[in-house]
Amino acid sequence: MSCPDENALSGYASGALDPEGMTTVRQHVSGCSECRSVLAALGGLENPPPLVDTGLLVSGARVGRYVVLGLLGEGGMGRVHAAYDPELDRKVALKLLNLARLGEDSLAQARQRLEREARTMARLSHPHVARLHDVGEFQGQLFLVMELVEGGTLRRWLAERPRTRREVLARFIQAAEGLAATHALGIIHRDFKPDNVLLTRDGQVRITDFGLANAAVGLGPPREDAAIVSGDAPLTVTGAFLGTPAYGAPEQLRGERGDARSDQFAFCVALYEALNGQRPFAGAAREELLASMQRQEVRPEQRGVPSWLKAVVRRGLSVDPSRRFESMQVLRARLSREVGAWKRSAATAVLAGGLVGLGFLVLGPSAATPSETCHGSERHLAGIWDASVRESTRQAFLRTGDPAAEASFQAVSSTLEQWTRDWTRAHQSACEATRVFGEQSEAALGLRMTCLDQRLGELSRLTVALQGADARTVERGFGLGASLGGVGGCADVRTLQEAVSPPEDPKARAEVDAVRAELARANAERLAGHTPEALRIALAARERALATRHRPLEAEAHHLCSRLQEDAGAFEDARASLVLGSLAAEAGRHLGVLARVLHFQAWLHGYGMGRPQEAWPFLHRARAVAETLRDAELDTLLDQVQAELLEQEGRFSEAESLLRALLEIASARGQTFTRAELNGRLGLLARQQGRLLEAKRWQEEALRVHETHFGLAHRDTGRALSNLGGTLALLGELSSAEAVLQRALGILRQTLGAENLSVARTLSNLALVYFEWGHGAQAREAAEESWAVALKSVAADSPVLIGVKSNRLGVRGEQGERLPELEYARGLLAHRERAYGATHPEVALDAHEVGRLLRLLGRPDEARGFHVRGVALQRPLADKGEMDGSGLRYLADALLFSGQVEEARRHVEQALVAMERDLGPSSSERIEALLLLGDVHLARGHPAEALAPLRTALEDLTARQVVSARVPRVRRRLARALRLTGAEDAACGEARRAWEELSVWRKAYVQETAEARAELAHCRG
């Protein structure tokens, strides 16, 4: 066979090859003097002696006081056995070194140096360094007695199955802590590699073979440049490279002095290999490796390795040692950002002369300026959100073909640019508080950095998900700013100190970390709009979370699953997840998650499921928990839900106050999407309160923001158009309303499909326009299509259908279908009662509508009961000045029917004042109020006073050029008022025109027809 390459020979020398490889190389080198020379060079030998087999010690054999238990492994330098130390009653690892490998160096010299190394190592007690207990001689061979670590090597652990980045970093950070501790004692490993990192059964790292690396000068002739001194001085050696070439630093491969920075290089080679599945530099022979290193030809990393981590590893791989990290401790701290950034080591080095703290010092104020000490925070964003990632994300959005893709991407980009600026400032501020100003402890810095690193990790996962954009991502992109968590909480050290503790068991802690990484990945997919994939990941992670029995983690999993289940429309599943989440959060004292679970329960019950009465207890509990958390973002979320609930309960002024405050917050934070959403909500709220002109202004602003930032064809632009169109219809601006609604309908059908609830609502608004115009057939067609589409989106008893149902009622009433209309109105009243409670102000309007229909059917006694109920609900609001014009009109109409004429007059006049302010001159509501005022004056016996409001109503109606039953109805009343004032000719003219105009509706409007005929009879008589 051909000769093995240098890495294979090095692996044989260190025992890193698998059993088959060890046998193959042993058989080859036994007959190949050239390879034996290479092995000798690897060991620093000038003259290679014949290879000598140390022989296999049988179980029960004694080496000094140690009893051999069995063979653990072998390498070119000897064999390792498990053994028993009867004096200290413990199992140990016994390594016998090949005497022949020492060449001309005497056994006494080697032993002396190894013993001194052992004494130095014995002064170190560190959880991530395997203890060297003893050095001895047995039958002409040196042996080392070390801590027995039975979990296998790091290399084997990496090969067993794919490992998450978090798992890999957790092990390497432990190794870095071990190296940092030994470097503090002047001990340089010189042969760090995955084969020299052992794992305990519970996953704890132990670095081994320090003794061989640092006393390796005893395995070859001393060099003139060797620097081995006693005591605490560095135990450094130069000359022939004694380690494994694939992990050796350039200076070592050149035969130059190696130091702690050489270990750092080897560490980064091993970490690169663990993250990417291959070593960073190509080449098998030493010369090839060195050439690759000098050209800095680092192989490309795998996709998904974050840029900050690439930068850390590549700095450690610098050819120039001075460009690597200042120390292993600094490198460890930089790496810790993924699994507990800047967290101080829990272990200390216990020295014979006292305690040396590895990083437990609190630094005082630095003389350096902030820019010198804490600059460069933005470097951590490389590969997470930089120019390359930004362009890659943009292209992914554009590939969807969605007309709104560019606008959505720009919204995403703006959000992430602001977020990264906030993160960079927070990172620098945290650093300066400790490093520059000395006003914060190292422990506090660690907490803040850990929090910031977690947020950066979340951003990293999100940008990966965004680069897989689809149509749903484009839709969700506009709302990203409202969904992406901020970094403000990372400055609250007190809250960070109160965070739930991870499991004490390292294995359990690693699993918790792994599950949290999966939950973070699921949340990133959620933010990117990939709901099905996100839910799949989250449900699988929840199963793993439940298996850990770590209650805080269970709470986090249940909470995320509930959000995704709601996204998918599975409200009952979401509700069940929230129940489990609240129980787990309380059991685990995870207050931050508990507050958010309660918040989402309030939202789901109150808004998502239309059960506001059930929502308040959840909201109140969430508020109580939030008082202890000092979380501004959570407070904002709770305010948003409270505004929803207040609005649903008809407490409009309270809801409006909250929404205005939230709008100020969103504007201050530059949250464009939230601003547009709040403008729209304030518009709808103003419309509900009858302030149509104000509603129009809010909605026009919302539309402007949507068109500017989201594009002319975006689905949310369509929704904004639909809302504005409905308001324009109520204002009587019918031509504008129809144009706006037709545009909205086209956008929504194109972007959401023909069977979406937003399409149904737009059709309903369009039906209202046709109704006001008097286009009965078109109004009915639009109303029925709206109802059919709505029923395909939600259940018939859903609160969200009340508006659609109400418009349909009005259209059917215009057709004169009184009995079906009455039953429909009763159903609407019951629907609203179930949704909002029996005392909601709009329940009063429904009650009045039922009463009005009963009056038209000639059933005044039944009607009276509904009107009495409506009045009872409305009168307290009217007395406090909290009722809008429409409500006052309904109240006045009911009072007039009940014979309370003067009170009816007072309220209808109040209604008109409010309507002048809020509705404008063309509003249908204002026309109805003018008509009612005319009826009030006629009932009072003052027909002359009825003329002005009736003429104004008629002028407004005719100016709109509508064909409506309202026109002959107003004209008939005007005819009566004129007749009663003695203007009989004018009265008859109006009566005849009313009769002609009514011809279209005579079959439908029986009572109106009879009254018109009676008025016309006065003229004939």
Number of H-type helices and E-type strands within the chain: 44, 12
Per domain, the residue ranges of the chain are 154-373, 377-471, 507-589, 597-648
Q: Give 214's pLDDT tier (boundaries 50, 70, 90).
A: very low
For 764-780, what is the mean pLDDT?
A: 82
Instruction: Please enumerate in sequence order all residues whose Cβ is within 8 A of that of 30, keeping only pairs 6 or more positions apart, or say none.
Output: 51
pLDDT at 723: 92
CA 108 to chain centre: 64
pLDDT in the model for residue 363: 28
pLDDT in the model for residue 793: 67
Q: Which of 183-192, 222-231, 508-517, 674-683 has the lowest mean pLDDT?
A: 222-231
Query: What type of residue sits at position 886?
Result: S
- CB 927, CB 957: distance < 8 Å: yes
The CA distance from 628 to 327, in Å, is: 41
| DSSP H or E stretch at residue 21 | helix 19-29
pLDDT over 90 (residue 745): yes
The two most distant CA atoms of the chain are separated, in Å, by 144
Give the SS3 label for residue 539. helix
Q: What is the pLDDT of residue 1002?
A: 63
Greater confidence, 351 or 444? Answer: 444
Give the range among 325-334, 460-469, 976-985 with minimum mean pLDDT. Answer: 325-334
pLDDT at 703: 92
Strand (E) or helix (H) holding 207: strand 205-207
- The answer to whether residue 859 scores a pLDDT higher than 70 is yes
Q: Report the alpha-carbon distance of residue 124 to residue 126 in Å, rounded.
A: 6
Name the percent of the chain lying above pLDDT 70: 78
Residue 572 CB partners (closer than 8 Å, separation 6+): none
| Nearest-angstrom CA–CA distance, 829 and 836 | 11
Among 217-221, 254-258, 633-637, 930-934, the range scoring the smallest mean pLDDT is 217-221
CB 1005 within 8 A of CB 982: no
Residues 35 and 2: their CA atoms lie apart, in Å, by 11
Mean per-residue pLDDT, 493-499: 74
As a whole number of angstroms, the distance between CA 53 and CA 940 comes to 125
Highest mean pLDDT among 369-373, 424-428, 741-745, 881-885: 741-745
* Least reliable range by pLDDT among 222-226, 588-592, 642-646, 648-652: 222-226
* Chain segment 262-282, per-residue pLDDT in tens: 999 999 999 999 999 999 998
Token couple for 283: 């080449």
% of the chain residues with pLDDT over 90: 21
Compare 943 and 790 and report the one with higher pLDDT. 943
Active site residue 191: yes
Bridge partners, residue 63, by sequence: 66
DSSP string computed for 47-116? SPPPP----PPPTT-EETTEEEEEEEEEETTEEEEEEEETTTTEEEEEEEE-GGGGTTS-HHHHHHHHHH
DSSP, collapsed to helix, strand or coil, labels residue 355 as strand
Q: What is the pLDDT of residue 44?
A: 38
More confident residue, 608 or 555: 555
Would you place residue 222 in the very low, low, confident or very high pLDDT band (cuts 50, 70, 90)?
Answer: very low
552-577 mean pLDDT: 91
Average pLDDT of the segment spanning 294-317: 85
- 297 Cβ neighbours under 8 A, 6+ residues apart: 281, 282
Q: Is the pLDDT of residue 726 over 70?
A: yes
Amino acid 1020: pLDDT: 65
Distance CA 949, CA 311 (A): 78
Please tell me the predicted confidence (pLDDT) of residue 272.
Answer: 94
Task: Give the confidence band of 867 by pLDDT, cuts at 50, 70, 90.
Answer: confident
Place of tokens 């929090």: 451
How does the average pLDDT of the chain come out, rounded?
78
The rounded distance, in Å, linking the Cα atoms of 537 and 705 is 35
Q: Token pair for residue 384?
A: 């997470």
- The count of residues in the chain is 1021
CA distance 505 to 202: 8
Q: pLDDT for 429-444, tens place per residue? A: 888 778 876 667 888 8
Q: Which of 191, 263, 846, 918 is catalytic?
A: 191
Hey, what are 806's tokens?
């109400």
Mean pLDDT to the nearest integer, 214-233: 35
Contact predicate 949/930, CB 8 Å: yes
Residue 318 scores a pLDDT above 70: yes
pLDDT tens figures, 805-848? 666 766 665 555 556 667 767 877 787 787 777 887 778 878 88
Average pLDDT over residues 463-492: 80
Question: Could you give the CA distance from residue 134 to residue 143 in angstroms, rounded to a whole number?
Answer: 8
Q: Which residues of 337-364 are buried (b: 16+ CB within 10 A; e: fewer)?
A: bbbbbbbbbebbbeeeeeeeebbeeeee
Which pLDDT does position 366 carry in this prediction? 34
Higher pLDDT, 997 or 386: 386
Of the listed ranges 6-20, 265-279, 755-769, the one predicted with least confidence: 6-20
The topology (CATH level 3) of 507-589 is 1.25.40
What is the pLDDT at residue 805? 62
| ∠ Cα 317 319 322 (to 5°) | 95
- Tell me 470's DSSP state: -
Count of C-beta atoms within a 10 Å radius of residue 512 = 20
> CB neighbours (10 Å) of residue 819?
9
How would you classify residue 95: left for phi > 0, otherwise alpha for psi between -120 and 50, otherwise beta? beta
Single out the residue of 325, 301, 327 nearest to residue 315, CA to CA.
Answer: 325
What is the residue whose two structure tokens read 């490389």? 382
Average pLDDT over residues 219-235: 32
> For residue 801, what pLDDT is reported?
60
DSSP secondary structure code for residue 607 in this structure: I
Lowest mean pLDDT among 175-189, 354-368, 713-727: 354-368
**Pair 182, 124: CB distance under 8 Å:** yes
The confidence band for 646, taking pLDDT boundaries of 50, 70 and 90, is confident
> Where is pLDDT greater, at 951 or 367?
951
Return d(Cα 732, Cα 898) in angstroms, integer. Answer: 30
Q: Bridge-partner residues for 91, per DSSP?
A: 84
Q: Strand pairing of 235-236 and 227-228?
A: antiparallel
- Which residue did the predictor score with more confidence, 613 or 157? 157
User: Of all helices (H) and strands (E), which one includes residue 518?
Assistant: helix 506-527
**How many whole angstroms separate alpha carbon 484 and alpha carbon 344?**
29
| pLDDT surpassing 90 at residue 411 | no
pLDDT in the model for residue 86: 85
pLDDT given for residue 378 in this prediction: 86
* Domain covering 154-373: architecture: Orthogonal Bundle (1.10)
Checking if the pLDDT of 206 tops 80, the result is yes
Helix (H) or strand (E) holding 706: helix 692-710
Cα-flanking dihedrals φ and ψ of residue 91, to 5°? Answer: -85, 145
Q: What is the pTM of this model?
A: 0.51
Contact 596, 562 (CB under 8 A): no
Do 748 and 718 contact (CB within 8 A), yes or no?
Answer: yes
Q: Per-residue confidence at 556, pLDDT binned at 50, 70, 90?
A: very high
| pLDDT of the residue at 738 | 93
Q: Is residue 98 very low, low, confident or very high in pLDDT (cuts 50, 70, 90)?
A: low
The confidence score (pLDDT) of residue 221 equals 33
Residues facing 79 on adjacent strands: 74, 96
What does each C-alpha distance from 267 to 180, 237, 297, 524, 842 come to in angstroms? 11, 19, 18, 31, 71
User: Which phi and psi angles does 129 have, rounded to 5°?
Assistant: -125, 125
Q: Which among 114-123, 181-190, 284-293, 585-594 has the top mean pLDDT?
A: 585-594
Instruction: Determine whether 879 is exposed, middle or buried from the number of CB atoms within 10 Å of its CB (0-12, 13-18, 19+).
Output: exposed
